[in-house]
Amino acid sequence: MDPAAMHGTTILTVRRGNTVSIGGDGQVSLGQTVVKGDARKVRRLAGDRVICGFAGATADAFTLLERLEGKLEQYPAQLTRACVELAKEWRTDRYLRRLEAMMIVADKDVTLTLSGVGDVIEPEHGVAAIGSGGDFARAAARALCEETEFDAETIVRKAMAIAASICVYTNDALTVETIGAA
């Protein structure tokens, strides 16, 4: 199987006030075929204090989720430090360096995007997105943030619906997790 032919994830996060939401679609495609429509790509970690969405090779993403959970145990209530330590390990470890995935993680205070090249990025405007339909979802969310008073979860749901209507690798089977006042 050609991993380059695997598509099908859109992950979006919106932070608004004291609330942060991460949403992910459920579609996994192989070439032009949808092989799964209800994958769950958003998870709660660290006793529900952290939410995480992932894109990329599933086994690689699960490996990184396990490593992140370990870092969160090592550095409780320090999401940024846990992510920086994971990114350093991911970048320098010979095995981890080959993992092909990205993650968006958030707690009550910070949102971060992590990549295998060592990036730990806090997004501007409280909006970040990754995956096949990420650019569509991010653009829609930014517009909704600027033009409406919707809460974070509503913006995630509406922006993901827009992304699903544009990107053939994104569907409307959403998993959304929220931290903060609803």
pLDDT given at position 6: 44
Average pLDDT, the chain: 89
Residue 104 binned pLDDT confidence (cut-offs 50, 70, 90): very high
Are the C-beta atoms of residues 8 and 170 closer than 8 Å to each other? Answer: yes
Q: In what order do the strands lie in the sheet with 42-45?
A: 42-45, 50-56, 101-106, 111-115, 120-121
What is this structure's pTM? 0.92
pLDDT higher at 37 or 13: 13
Q: Spell out the domains of the chain, with CATH numbers in brackets.
A: 3-179 (3.60.20.10)
Q: Bigger pLDDT: 99 or 88?
A: 88
pLDDT of residue 99: 74
pLDDT range class, residue 2, cuts 50, 70, 90 = very low
Nearest to 22 by CA among 164, 171, 155: 155
> Is 9 known to be catalytic?
yes
Do the beta carbons of residue 19 and residue 182 sit within 8 Å?
yes
Which one from 9, 10, 113, 178 is the annotated catalytic residue?
9
Does residue 100 have a pLDDT over 60? yes
